[in-house]
Chains A and B, each alone.
Chain A
Amino acid sequence: RSTSGAEHESARARVAGAERGWRRGGKCGAAGIRCVAYNNQSNRLAVSRTDGTVEIYNLSANYFQEKFFPGHESRATEALCWAAGQRLFSAGLNGEIIEYDLQALNVKYAMDAFGGPIWSMTASPSGSQLLVGCEDGSVKLFQITPDKIQFERNFDRQKSRILSLSWHPSGTHIAAGSIDYISVFDVKSGSTIHKMIVDRQYMGVSKRKCIVWGVAFLSDGTVISVDSAGKVQFWDSATGTLVKSHLIANADVQSIAVADQEDSFVVGTAEGTIFHFQLLPVTSNSNEKQWVRTKPFQHHTHDVRTVAHSPTALISGGTDTHLVIRPLMEKVEVKNYDAALRKITFPHRRLISCSKKRQLLLFQFTHHLELWRLGSTVATGKNGDTLPLSKNADHLLHLKTKGPENIICSSISPCGNWIAYSTASRFFLCRLNYEHDNISLKRVSKMPAFLRSALQILFSEDSTKLFVASNQGSLHIVQLLEGSFKHLHAFQPLSGTVEAMCLLAVSPDGSWLAASGTSAGVRVYNVKQLKLHCTVPAYNFPVTALAIAPDTNNLVIAHSDQQVFEYSIPDKQYTEWSRTVQKQGFHHLWLQRDTPITHISFHPKRPMHILLHDAYMFCIIDKSLPLPSDKTLLYNPLPPMNESDVVRRRTAHAFKISKIYKPLLFLDLLDERTLVAVERPLDDIIAQLPPPIKKKKFGT
């Protein structure tokens, strides 16, 4: 009798490894957010983190993280901006301006600005020029050429480091915020027009220098500055005088972003609050307008280092690793679930792989991999019990990567004998040997030239073949032999732009390989004959998870708008069940889930079951049961035992959802009777964060 997943004697493997990993300082897929940049044309958000990773979120595809550029130890990004349409630039403390290639998913080039560490960067309103503010006080102008950037000239050099920059919308003037003062430059001549001294403290004296964290230049000549004393100040750039001063926080105000229409802006403070300022008329029918602080939002616990203002939402990110997107109710036209707050905390891709035969889990961190053996229990109990472990989870291996680059992807073979992982420039393949309780690792030294950087790695079910999706778009099949390997075939990339990171899936019998990521749709290759078999019709939302079922060879695809398709590979068409689901549509609560499905798996003996999970729930779809209509309850907990069979049958539907384990990082079937689930409690993440601002509460 199947009920919501509780039939499996789920060993609640709350892997103690996840907890211990945090104390060592390694975070599985979480680093603080340093900068965000919003691109209006494509409705995409570029987010850079403190470990150097730059992620691209597609805000119209249900806020899905479609691409990312792996970080580098020396690349501490301090500024990020879009320029010339769709080109992404970042600058950091190593003094280099980096351009990212959004098609090849790597760094195009890094150009040294020769001014020391770069603190701020902004693009001109026309998009053809780039301005950087450096440590030595110089403001440098670069011309953006079709394939590179070229240094044009320096502006007047200032005494202290330039921490923030802003162009006037007409492109004639620039405001630069430094320590204790703000300068206004004329772009044509490069000379300072005004130098406006900022008070160190609002109506007071202070020894600490006032750092101007952000400036914004409006088209009427007003310069808005936010500084470390907690003030938001309005300056008149024509006369160089202070117009208005607001004290909004007891701590630093660290970021500012102005809307395109210049009628609202948002600032973020170190206390985790963001404030929305709007330009409102003084009285209801007067022409005179003034800036009023309208809404505070407290969605963060730590410093909000960066904010962005899209036409309909306020976006903020900070040290507490959450990305918060708050749609503004007055700007949203249709008041549906789209207008709800979105908080992106968990990674949108799978960072854990599992070896079912040996019960091992491989965790991918930024600079190292950890291999854990699951604990076991001999006790038995009823459904819903938590059983004590008789043998604890074992930390088998801590594999540190060489070099400063972050790990992009990793995988362990199902038999547990091979581990493969890749950084941006190197590919590593290691062989594991097990003797009794000991484990030894041997690295395969000679890697072929074409295997440099992989976006996705997958082992076949029998662990004889390795599938690698390289960042040039090609797919490589490598045959694994005893101590070495042999390159079998390379599938060249088809035409089509790269939409998202490549995802791979292989059928358990080893004959089919599915790959997603381009605008052409999911491609299915015949591994035995080494040719392209078919292409699933393209869908306008990116794929978040892929898997091929064991006997039926049905390809199950999950998209970022929470649609799930089932495509039969031998028949080259969607299955009956998939067509039925599409006709009826999914339950509205299913479509309103926040987090994307990151993993799909199957039960070896039950072909009618599909097991999938996202961050807050896991679900077993039973294809033999009827689909729920919009009126029925989607999350139906176990009905009490004394209910009649009829009632139970009436409320039973195909989607068996369980929310007992959350937040889920990974869930898979180990064998017929065991599930492994890896949770990542938010408290553990918060425990590793840097210190927040002190809040004084009455009574504590």
Chain B
Amino acid sequence: MVQLRPRASRAPASAEAMVDEGQPASEEEAEHGLLLGQPSSGAAAEPLEEDEEGDDEFDDEAPEELTFASAQAEAREEERRVRETVRRDKTLLKEKRKRREELFIEQKKRKLLPDTILEKLTTASQKCNLIFLVNLQKKNEDCEKGSGSKKVKVQKVQSISQNKSYVALRLKDQDLRDSRQQAAQAFIHNSLYGPGTNRTTVNKFLSLANKRLPVKKAAAQFLNNAWGTQKKQNAKKFKRRWMLRRMKTPKK
């Protein structure tokens, strides 16, 4: 059986050769493995009998004639095609990157303050020292609210617009902080009032004394005034309406 040496096997074989230590032996093995796994041959999937039949057919026909020139032309075509695809991919990537950069610049621009305020900032910072001190004295509390790293920004803005006060916070930090604080509060609540603690209600606590008196009295909060507020309100409204109706009807 004539075995045409396929072109594609060259690259993988060399890669494997680089990895393995013993080169010659591994190359043979690689070749074997690759030949067995070649999708074009399809030998791995089909059973052996079919192969033998195919072989017979091939043996009867004459092999195809392939001149060197045509093979060379084919090879060159392939190379060209490959180069083209690579070039196209490169240009596509370039374009993509360009577009992304532009998008980022636009977003950044949107995030920044409008030009007018930026101008004001630069001019203000040039002459700001005196105003700075005066404003610092007046607005000391505001500086404390913002986080440390944002302090400078907060102060600068205030020197321009006097009536506003800014507190700059990163929301991501705040979420983490809140969740940790909640976890801590849950821990304290659990350890003091959670299951396993021997707690009782305030009513029962205050009523202990009443129960031990020689004349037993009722509990400290005997009446639950918060019970049925909606019902009581409805009853009051109904009563008022009923009274009005009663007062109206006898006149008729």
Contact = CB atoms under 8 A, between A and B. Distances in A.
B205 A250 contact: no
Nearest to A320: B202
A116 B180 contact: yes
Contacts of A695: 200, 205, 208
B211 A93 contact: no
Interface stretch (B48-56, B58-66, B125-133, B138-146): B138-146
A301 B212 CA distance: 18
A49 to B, nearest CB: 15
A396 interface: no
B180 A700 contact: no
Given A95-B177, A116-B184, A117-B181, A687 B147 contact: no
Contacts of A577: none
Given A117-B180, A228-B191, A689 B202 contact: yes
Interface string A299-328: 001010000000000000000000000000
Nearest to A98: B144
A93 B201 contact: no
Given A93-B184, A135-B184, A425 B141 contact: yes
Contacts of A531: none
Specify the main secondary structure of chain B where it touches its partner. Answer: helix
A251 B187 CA distance: 17
B199 interface: yes
Contact of B199 (A111, A161, A692): A692
B142 A687 contact: no
B40 interface: no
Nearest to A119: B184
Contact of B184 (A110, A117, A691): A117
Given A251-B198, A301-B205, A691-B200, A109 B212 contact: no
B148 interface: yes
A76 B185 contact: yes
Nearest to A271: B198
Interface residues of A, number: 49
A252 interface: yes
B204 to A, nearest CB: 8
Nearest to A452: B141
Most buried by A among B192, B199, B220, B226: B192
Nearest to B221: A687
A81 B212 CA distance: 43
B103 to A, nearest CB: 34
A248 to B, nearest CB: 15
Contacts of A109: 144
A362 interface: no
B104 interface: no
A526 interface: no
A93 B144 contact: no
Nearest to B144: A109
Contacts of A692: 199-200, 202, 205
**A93, A207, A699: which has the most chain B beta carbons within 10 Å?**
A93
Interface string A115-150: 011010000000000000001000000000000000
A699 B212 contact: yes
A449 B193 CA distance: 46
Contact of A700 (B198, B201, B208): B208
B162 interface: yes
Interface in A438-486: 446, 449-450, 452-453
B199 A694 contact: yes
B162 A449 contact: yes
B235 interface: no
Contacts of A449: 138, 162-163
B165 interface: yes
Interface string A368-396: 00000000000000000000000000000
B44 interface: no
A671 B144 CA distance: 46
Contacts of B192: 252, 270, 303
Contacts of B200: 691-695
Contacts of A207: 196
A338 to B, nearest CB: 31
A501 interface: no
Contacts, number: 98
B42 to A, nearest CB: 61
Contacts of B165: 425
Contact of B141 (A23, A94, A424): A424
Given A112-B147, A691-B199, A695-B208, A106 B180 contact: no
A531 to B, nearest CB: 24
B119 to A, nearest CB: 24
Interface in B162-211: 162-163, 165, 177, 180-181, 183-185, 187, 191-193, 196-206, 208, 211
A683 interface: yes
A251 B198 CA distance: 8
A270 B147 CA distance: 37
Contacts of B144: 107-110
A697 interface: yes
Interface string B148-161: 10000000000000
A690 interface: yes
Nearest to B142: A425
B132 to A, nearest CB: 15
B180 A687 contact: no
A162 to B, nearest CB: 12
Contacts of A106: 140-141
Nearest to A115: B180
Contacts of A104: 140
A95 B193 contact: no
A372 B183 CA distance: 39
Nearest to A109: B144
A94 B183 CA distance: 11
Given A691-B193, A692-B200, A93 B163 contact: no
A687 B199 contact: no
A196 interface: no
A135 B184 CA distance: 8
B218 to A, nearest CB: 13
A446 B205 CA distance: 51
Interface string B68-95: 0000000000000000000000000000
A697 B212 contact: yes
Contacts of A694: 198-200, 204-205
27 contacts: A74-B181, A94-B181, A95-B180, A95-B181, A106-B140, A106-B141, A112-B147, A116-B180, A119-B184, A135-B183, A161-B187, A207-B196, A208-B196, A251-B197, A425-B141, A449-B162, A452-B141, A453-B141, A687-B202, A687-B221, A691-B193, A691-B200, A692-B199, A694-B199, A695-B200, A697-B208, A700-B208
Task: Across the A-B interface, give the 4 residue pairs with the lowest CB-CB distance, nearest first.
Answer: A694-B200, A117-B184, A691-B199, A700-B211
Given A117-B180, A694-B204, 20 more contacts: A95-B177, A106-B140, A108-B144, A112-B148, A117-B184, A228-B191, A251-B197, A449-B163, A452-B139, A683-B220, A687-B203, A691-B193, A691-B199, A691-B200, A692-B199, A693-B199, A694-B200, A697-B211, A699-B211, A700-B208
Interface of A: 23, 74, 76, 93-95, 104, 106-112, 116-117, 119, 135, 161, 207-208, 211, 228, 250-252, 270, 301, 303, 424-425, 446, 449-450, 452-453, 683, 686-687, 689-695, 697, 699-700
